[in-house]
Amino acid sequence: MSLEDLAFTPLHEQARLIARGDLSPVELAELYLDRISTFDPALNAFLTVTADRALALAQAAETAMAAGGRRGPLHGIPLALKDLFDVSGLATTGGSVVLQDNVADCDATVTRRLLEAGAVLLGKTQMVEFAFGGAGINHHHGTPWNPWDGSVHRLPGGSSSGSAVAVAAGLASVALGSDTGGSVRIPSSFCGLVGLKPTFGRVSCAGVLPLDPTLDSIGPLARCVTDAALVYNVIAGADPSDRDTLAAPAFLPADDVEGEINGMRLCIPREYFWADVEPEVEAAVRATAGVFAELGAHVDEVSLDELNRLGDLRSYKNLTAVETCASYGSLLEGRGADFDPIVRERMVDGFDVSAVEYLTARRFRDDLQRDTVTALADIDALLVPTTPFTAPAVDECDDGGPEYWRVNGMCLRNTAAANLLGLCSISLPCGFTREGLPVGLMLIGRPYEETRLLQLARAFEAATDWHQRRPELSD
């Protein structure tokens, strides 16, 4: 196997090689650090690279293996974290210069769980400031370069922009992101990855910079469904430091998926998700219905009146802006000039929302979540496009003008539905356009049905090869 092939080998296969003694954790860490040194100056995926720490962790993993020990399923696996997860001794900046001195004195719960499972931390990745944006733009640190187009600077998707670019470009085995309105799934769609948004409360947010604590969800960006499931198994579960968390059953992907989704029902909703979808995107997503049908699932189109009410909810004063102001309002008032101007403009809307308006919108959302769960009682998953288009060029929409607001809103429109409705969701590649850009399929499942969602995604992936493609890089 060439070093290039090894860099793009799925995490679970790398872990198997390490467990057999056929792959050195130190050599794997060195491979990714070398690739970061070679390719990241152009890609700009990482905000901080922790080379010394990574090599020390890799050496400890190698020493443990020599002594017959293995810490867990991620033993010796190099990964990256979005820069809103606390790592002891490192700054957690949230992609903002305002927090450049915000050094963590302990690990976030998910950081600790990853390290306890044997992971090797390569560094922290770029992101939209305070995770407040779906396009992936950051005017302070530069917008990461989507690796699927070497000649045109295209949006990586946000807000977990650097995490997606790092995995897609073979700079890390896997990465972790956050998802409040699509911030794991949008960049996964634009960069040809698998992105899982668990149900709110499945994964602890303790030690994670918040955007909207009523919606924030933590999930992996990975090369395949099995990798996403393995990381999810590690990070999910109850945490006394986060009162919203609850226990999560493990998903153990089977080697043989034949018959695994027989009789499951997938539905293509007629409402909401298909407006202004690019023809190539629509064709690729609708074609997946045939794949699922051949695998034994029932696929049909349905009308769900509840989805028509999503537009009413999104027309309310911005709930997330209110929650963000509650977290960062004092910084905004004291250092507003140091904020990314696009983020500042979105955030200040929260100051204009009254308590009555906020509570009315929250109650509307709670009612809509309850009604939607009832409507989905006999539906295992909805099948829709993750985003209505593939990655646009950065220079078309990074100036904060009308085109930015249109693109950012369209990036978030489909994905935010799962967050607002309290559902779990996964994005996975389902095709490429004539320009060679990835298309994302999104499956949306009932609350706490991550196992069923992963089964569907795993079966589709086993029947296709979209996830095996990788971009051509030049240094």
What is the average pLDDT across 107-131? Answer: 99
Q: What is the pLDDT confidence band of residue 253, given thresholds at 50, 70 and 90?
A: low
Query: What pLDDT score does 282 carry?
Result: 98
The per-residue pLDDT for range 395-449, each reduced to its tens digit, is 999 888 999 999 999 999 999 999 999 999 999 999 999 999 999 999 999 999 9
Residues acting as catalytic residues: 82, 159, 183
The per-residue pLDDT for range 283-339, each reduced to its tens digit, is 999 999 999 999 999 999 999 988 888 877 765 557 888 999 999 999 998 999 999
What is the average pLDDT across 152-172? Answer: 99
What is the average pLDDT across 87-111? Answer: 98
Query: What pLDDT score does 389 carry?
Result: 99
ω into residue 241 within 30 of 0, thus cis? Answer: no
The percent of residues in the chain predicted with pLDDT above 90, rounded, is 88
Domain boundaries, the chain: 3-468
Report the predicted TM-score, pTM, of the whole model to 2 decimal places: 0.97
Query: What pLDDT score does 259 carry?
Result: 62
Query: What pLDDT score does 444 carry?
Result: 99
CATH T-level topology, domain 3-468: Amidase signature (AS) enzymes (3.90.1300)
Mean pLDDT of the chain: 95
What is the average pLDDT across 77-94? Answer: 99
The per-residue pLDDT for range 175-219, each reduced to its tens digit, is 999 999 999 999 999 999 999 999 999 999 999 999 999 999 999
pLDDT of 258 > 70? The answer is no
pLDDT of 252 > 70? The answer is no
